[in-house]
Amino acid sequence: MKTGLEVANALNKIFPERRADKLWVDKGREFYNSHVQKTVTLYSTENEMSSLVERWNRTMTEKMFKYFTANSTRKYIDVLDELVDQYNNTIHSSTGMTPKKASKKNKMLSCRRETALQGAL
């Protein structure tokens, strides 16, 4: 089990120069403590649990293994920023926009689109 201090230290290591404005997390206790909350503002998935994070993990894993196969290597650290940038600039069907363009301003539009998509199912 991860402690809040361990998570805060890891976040500080991941974001040494630039900080995320918000971090989308599940309801894990390792995020909800004074150490982490001093580091970043949290956005909870509430009932969504970790489905969005799991989907991101799956997408990034797929991108990495395509790279591994095409380049006959398992070294990803040199292309990790590029893979994340590709992800952040890809239009997502659930929102109709790229993560890079998504913001509070677009949140209502995203919610309406998601509701419309759910109604079509």
Closest CA to 82 of 97, 93, 95, 71: 71
6 three-class SS: helix
Q: What confidence tier does 108 reach under pLDDT thresholds 50, 70, 90?
A: low
Residue 64's domain spans which residues? 50-114
Does residue 87 share a domain with residue 63? yes
Band (19; pLDDT cuts 50, 70, 90): confident
Task: Yes or no: say if 30 and 8 are a contact pair by the CB < 8 Å rule.
Answer: no
Note whether 29 and 72 are same-domain residues: no
Give yes or no: residues 31 and 59 share one domain: no
Residues 64-98: tens digit of each pLDDT: 999 999 999 999 899 999 999 999 899 988 778 88
Q: Determine the Cα angle at 88 with ends 85 and 91, to 5°.
A: 130
75 shares its domain with 32 = no
Verify that 108 and 60 share a domain, yes or no.
yes
38 and 54 share a domain?
Answer: no
Evaluate if residue 51 carries a pLDDT over 90: no
Tokens of 102: 């998504």
Q: Is the pTM of this model over 0.75?
A: no
Same domain, 2 and 41: yes
Domain count, the chain: 2
Q: In this predicted model, what pLDDT tens digit does every residue of 96-105 receive, in sequence order? A: 888 888 754 5
Residues 42 and 23 sit within 8 Å (Cβ to Cβ): yes
Do 58 and 34 fall into the same domain?
Answer: no
